[in-house]
């Protein structure tokens, strides 16, 4: 196994996304620091301080699967979390305790990737519209949903818990709990949550063999997202093996032609989740969703007009196990070389000769590969 790592080291950038090992160490370190701070505060004040922020613990959740082209909704055990918001007297405007029954907590969800970078590559640049409840509007980001959106405090009640069901679109989300007293905003607390498939690694966009012949080239990036080349680590190792084998099997069956370059079109986003592409399609697609305030809306992507932002075609490609490769060779510059066609039989031979770790689905312009070595997050 270690040898394999060395052989393929150059095929990966090994850039771990947040949530990978270094980040986890940092997290543990922060946790220890927080713990020490709490003990210190406890010792100093003779009790747990009132102003512990709700955001002291921010969970990482798996992207769920809401209905899209398929009617199935999947909510995963690690795709939801109960978030606790703690309010101090100051947070609710120092009103007398007997008045707390008139304090309403209103929750909502925001996507905050731009404040926290764009780690999942899910921030859309540009204004893309579709029909939202029948009128042309900017396409909203699906942000997940809450178990409820408003509640009222009781006198003396300082904590409120709400369940967050993670979005199907990976990214950074903030759940905000605003405290209103007789309709007036007095203060708010928030929890930031990362929605992601953990530990995906970047697969090199271009690969060469030891003689410096190009073996593969990644294409398929669009103006909507450029980082479509993330996979689970074990999948990446198997994929590198397979791509080498495709090139040699092609040469064997085509008079020694060593010029085939596997043209990979899509894998997964850096944080996985819904793999949106922004294509237009030639039929309408209507999806019912819920906005960050709990309101249901219908969104219709019109045929040939609206880019499908935050909407499939790709139902899969969500967890770093799925890779699309073109039926044609790349020309070495990102174009298609239609004089070199990869026969399905050759692909299947290459799969068998490299360990048999992939299943193939012929999608006419490309082969959709699924790696059996990866962890299947979407049953």
Q: State the residues that interact with Zn ion by CB under 5 A.
A: 324, 368
C-beta of 379: minimal distance to Zn ion in Å? 18
Complete edge-to-edge strand list for the sheet that includes strand 201-203: 12-16, 201-203, 230-231
C-beta of 307: minimal distance to Zn ion in Å? 19
C-beta of 361: minimal distance to Zn ion in Å? 7
C-beta of 195: minimal distance to Zn ion in Å? 22
Q: Which residue is nearest to Zn ion (CB)?
A: 368
- Choose between 300 and 372: whose C-beta lies nearer to Zn ion: 372
Question: What is the distance of C-alpha 36 from the center of its chain?
Answer: 33
- Choose between 68 and 324: whose C-beta lies nearer to Zn ion: 324
- Choose between 122 and 228: whose C-beta lies nearer to Zn ion: 228
Whole-number Å distance between alpha carbons of 311 and 332: 31
Whole-number Å distance between alpha carbons of 195 and 163: 14
C-beta of 279: minimal distance to Zn ion in Å? 13
| Strand blocks (E) in 50-127 | 60-61, 80-86, 103-111
- Choose between 115 and 363: whose C-beta lies nearer to Zn ion: 363
- Choose between 108 and 368: whose C-beta lies nearer to Zn ion: 368
Other residues' Cβ atoms within 10 Å of the Cβ of residue 65 = 21
Distances (CA, A) of 31 to 20, 54, 55, 56, 58: 16, 14, 12, 9, 11
- Choose between 199 and 266: whose C-beta lies nearer to Zn ion: 266
C-beta of 119: minimal distance to Zn ion in Å? 23
Contact 63, 317 (CB under 8 A): no
Distances (CA, A) of 203 to 33, 119, 192, 297: 35, 16, 28, 37
Q: Which helix (H) or strand (E) holds 5?
A: helix 2-7
């Amino acid at each position: 196994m270690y040898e394999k790592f060395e052989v393929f080291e150059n095929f990966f950038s090994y850039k771990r996304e947040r949530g990978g090992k270094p980040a986890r160490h940092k997290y543990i370190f922060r946790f220890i620091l927080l713990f020490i701070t709490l003990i210190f505060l406890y010792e100093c004040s003779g009790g747990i301080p009132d102003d512990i922020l709700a955001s002291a613990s921010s969970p990482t959740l798996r992207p769920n699967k809401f209905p899209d082209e398929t009617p199935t909704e999947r909510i995963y055990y690690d795709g939801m979390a109960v978030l606790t918001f703690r309010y101090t007297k100051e947070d609710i405007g120092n009103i007398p305790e007997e008045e707390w029954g008139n304090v309403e907590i209103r929750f909502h969800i925001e996507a905050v990737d731009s404040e926290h970078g764009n780690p999942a590559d899910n921030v859309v640049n540009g204004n893309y519209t579709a029909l939202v409840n029948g009128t042309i509007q900017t396409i909203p980001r699906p942000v997940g949903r809450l178990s409820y959106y408003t509640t009222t405090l009781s006198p003396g009640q300082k904590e409120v818990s709400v369940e967050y069901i993670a979005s199907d679109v990976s990214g950074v989300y903030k759940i905000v709990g605003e405290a209103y007293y007789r309709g007036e905003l007095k203060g708010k607390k928030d929890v930031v949550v990362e929605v992601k498939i953990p530990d995906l690694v970047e697969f090199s966009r271009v690969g060469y063999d030891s003689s410096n012949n190009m073996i593969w080239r990644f294409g398929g990036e669009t103006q909507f997202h450029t980082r479509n080349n993330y996979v689970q680590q074990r999948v990446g190792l198997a994929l590198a093996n397979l791509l080498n084998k495709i090139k040699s099997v092609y040469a064997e069956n085509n008079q020694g032609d060593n010029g085939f370059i596997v043209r990979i079109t899509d894998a997964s986003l850096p944080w996985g989740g819904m793999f949106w592409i922004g294509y237009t399609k030639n039929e309408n697609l209507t999806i019912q969703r819920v906005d960050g305030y709990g309101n249901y809306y219908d969104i219709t992507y019109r045929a040939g007009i609206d880019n499908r932002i935050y909407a499939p075609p790709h139902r899969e490609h969500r967890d770093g196990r799925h890779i699309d490769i073109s039926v044609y060779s790349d020309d070495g510059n990102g174009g298609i070389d239609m004089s070199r066609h990869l026969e399905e039989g050759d692909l299947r031979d290459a799969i068998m000769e490299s360990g048999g770790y992939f299943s193939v689905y012929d999608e006419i312009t490309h082969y959709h590969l699924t790696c059996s070595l990866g962890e299947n997050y979407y049953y």
